[in-house]
Structure 1
Amino acid sequence: MTAGVIREATDADIPALVEIMNEVNPARPWTPQTLEHETHFLRTHPLGLHLAQWIVEDAGQPVATAAALQFAGMYHPDRYHAEVMVRPAAERRGIGTALAATLDAHLRARGAREVLAGAYEDQPHALAFLTTRGFTEAMRVWDNVLDLQGFDPAAWTGQGALPAGVRVLSYAQLEAELGPDAALRAYYDGFHEARADVPRTGDATELTLDDFRQRFDNPAMFPEGMLLAVTDAGEVVAVSELWRWTSDPRRLDTGLTGTRRAWRRRGLALALKLAAIRVALAHGAAEIWTGNATTNAPMLAINERLGFRPRPAFIEMKWGGV
């Protein structure tokens, strides 16, 4: 029984961290490029986001990792997100306990008042690990998956009609029409308002135009899959985003799907989701994944109607509060 050697991770450890993370959570795989991008974003963000990461080696082999970080999308100076990941072959050897103690000391030294962590509902040992450390359930999010091989586009002919004066354009098409600066601003304005009402466990941080612009540096960015409902005046009134899954070219991931408040209940979300499915099929994708809070009844109803089916829910757990 050994807890291995715990040390702070460096950029040279990114490939090993990706291996651990993907083995522990294969449903949400990373690549070294996507982890490098995320790490750079956190370190250089003007909010001064915190990021600390550790790696555990046993007999010279990387077997576990832990992280304490702050996200720009739901920032508070005393709120942190914590992760502990142990390879299955190294479980029940005290490694997770040792990493949790390292995280606890680090966060207490920083004066953390709220810590968010989580695990999937089919991982009772991980949920018990958090419960015994004072975490309680705050929110559940399903991974909903659409198997495109079973989707029949002909069954949706004539459905998903748009209101008069509204078109569906990809961001690439909008940029060609308006130019880069005007297209970015229109996309940002629509995204910003639609994002504000997405269920989350804390208040959304104001999204700056600079933050939004940096999304286009993400290796997973797919401009042809950023579907926008655009009025004749060039206003973006709804969005539904597809992102590439850099570790699997046959899989696409849905980012935000949302509608500006004055345009809701007019069928825009369904129209954009259908347009996104057509784009996915044209690019040879086999699956579309999306995450939905279990409380988001309107979006769950649309996804169920389209044929998305839920996987085990991710349970976000919280300690403390701000």
Structure 2
Amino acid sequence: MPFMIATAESVVHSVTQAHPDAHFRPLVAETDGEVIGTVQTGIAHDSPTPGLGYLNVYVHPEHQRRGAGGLLVRTAEERLRALGATTVYSWVYDTPDNRGFAERRGYTTSRSSHFQRLDLTQGTLPPLQAPPPGVELRTAADFADDPRPVFELDAETTADEPSDVGAEFDDYEQWLRDTFRHPLLDHELTTVVVVDGTPAAFTAAHTDGRERYFTGMTGTARAFRGRGLAKLAKNDSLHRARAAGYTEAFTGNDTDNGPMLAINKWFGYEVCATEIRYARGLG
């Protein structure tokens, strides 16, 4: 996944801190002691719809067409069926080979999402704008003593994201473990827009600590939409990321998320890959 950010620390964190009901487990395929593929699999426990599972499978390009991908899918499906999943979803690269792999296994298309890339070295970011009266730009670090207002903002905006597997955040302690204390979340580069003392919009910055930056989430509370606050948050974070030495910025959006796609186009992001969501009933 060249458009995502992962570190050894983030992999360990995802496995050890996942909610028990998520049953998250990355499985690997090996040959002669070498890991050649993986499937990330679990239950969408925070979805309001029960019985939804997922599996996302990846095989190293030099080891494809040797059966590793099929073995990973079959093993993950068996595990999800045993956990009570009735439907399984999977993100698949929009290429003939990858789509054919999914369709031969009974998966059918659902929705799609774009990965987008922005070169931070070109100096093409829109200029910074002063916040309007009553509006402040803060960072996640400013909420370290009491992150609950950020949790409430994240929960509201995530619930409104277009998706066929919705999510509802109602466990503050788990959100602290999953999100606020995630090793990729850069608290200093995460911008929170505060309007008259109320957190109104934010953009979450994930980084590898070296050169790569990924927007984990950008959103605006319902009562504050239409005022350009998401742009304000993201522009502030991107400028500070560039100043800190980050050279590439990535993000991802559902293709039905017109407002966010328009914002990213305004920043200069370009689509670099597309994924298709596939689904299959486990029956």
Same fold judged by TM-score > 0.5?
A: yes
Residue 117 of structure 2 is aligned to residue 145 of structure 1? yes
Within the candidate set 271, 274, 281, 2:232 is matched to 271
SS in 2 for 1:291: strand
Within the candidate set 278, 282, 303, 2:264 is matched to 303
* TM-superposed deviation, 1:225: 1.3
- The structure having more radius of gyration, on CA atoms, is 1
Q: What is the rounded CA distance, in whole Å, between the counterparts of 1:256 and 1:103 in structure 2?
A: 28
Alignment partner, residue 7 of structure 2: 31
Q: What is the rounded CA distance, in whole Å, between the counterparts of 1:150 and 1:260 in structure 2?
A: 32
Residue 188 of structure 2 is aligned to residue 217 of structure 1? no
Alignment partner, residue 80 of structure 1: 53
Q: What is the rounded CA distance, in whole Å, between the counterparts of 2:216 and 2:200 in structure 1?
A: 16
**Which ranges of structure 1 fall in alignment gaps of 5 or more residues?**
1-24
Q: What is the rounded CA distance, in whole Å, between the counterparts of 2:28 and 2:69 in structure 1?
A: 11
Q: What is the rounded CA distance, in whole Å, between the counterparts of 1:163 and 1:275 in structure 2?
A: 14
Deviations 1:38-92 (A, max 9, x none): 00122xx25x221344333323333233343124543755211113322222222
Alignment of 1:117-132 (within 5 A): 117-122=90-95, 124-132=96-104
Q: Against the structure 1 CA distance between its residues 170 and 118, is the aligned structure 2 distance closer, same or farther, given a 3 Å change threshold?
A: same
Is this contact kept in 1: 2:207–2:214, CA < 8 A?
yes
Q: What is the rounded CA distance, in whole Å, between the counterparts of 2:61 and 2:108 in structure 1?
A: 24
Within the candidate set 139, 156, 181, 2:127 is matched to 156
Within the candidate set 260, 263, 270, 2:221 is matched to 260
* TM-superposed deviation, 1:262: 1.2
Residue 30 of structure 2 is aligned to residue 61 of structure 1? no
Q: Against the structure 1 CA distance between its residues 163 and 211, is the aligned structure 2 distance closer, same or farther, given a 3 Å change threshold?
A: farther
Residue 105 of structure 2 is aligned to residue 133 of structure 1? yes
Deviations 1:226-258 (A, max 9, x none): 2111123x2101111111125xx1111111111
Is this contact kept in 2: 1:162–1:267, CA < 8 A?
no
Q: Against the structure 1 CA distance between its residues 112 and 195, is the aligned structure 2 distance closer, same or farther, given a 3 Å change threshold?
A: closer
Alignment partner, residue 162 of structure 2: 199
Q: Against the structure 1 CA distance between its residues 237 and 77, is the aligned structure 2 distance closer, same or farther, given a 3 Å change threshold?
A: same
Deviations 1:276-317 (A, max 9, x none): 121112211111111111111111111101101111111111
How much is the aligned-residue C-alpha RMSD, in angstroms?
2.3
Q: Against the structure 1 CA distance between its residues 90 and 78, is the aligned structure 2 distance closer, same or farther, given a 3 Å change threshold?
A: same
Q: Greater CA deviation, 266-275 or 166-175?
A: 166-175
Q: Greater CA deviation, 101-110 or 309-318?
A: 101-110
Q: What is the rounded CA distance, in whole Å, between the counterparts of 1:220 and 1:29 in structure 2?
A: 8
Alignment of 1:94-105 (within 5 A): 94-105=67-78
If the length of structure 2 is used for normalisation, what is the TM-score?
A: 0.90
* TM-superposed deviation, 1:26: 2.9
Is this contact kept in 1: 2:44–2:165, CA < 8 A?
no
Is this contact kept in 1: 2:112–2:275, CA < 8 A?
yes
If the length of structure 1 is used for normalisation, what is the TM-score?
A: 0.80
Deviations 1:196-222 (A, max 9, x none): 211111232233211222223221121
Q: What is the rounded CA distance, in whole Å, between the counterparts of 1:161 and 1:262 in structure 2?
A: 21
Q: What is the rounded CA distance, in whole Å, between the counterparts of 2:78 and 2:53 in structure 1?
A: 13
Alignment of 1:170-249 (within 5 A): 170-175=139-144, 180-181=145-146, 184-214=147-177, 215-232=179-196, 234-245=197-208, 249=210
Q: Greater CA deviation, 100-109 or 255-264?
A: 100-109
Is this contact kept in 2: 1:189–1:236, CA < 8 A?
no
Is this contact kept in 2: 1:143–1:290, CA < 8 A?
yes
Q: What is the rounded CA distance, in whole Å, between the counterparts of 1:302 and 1:70 in structure 2?
A: 32
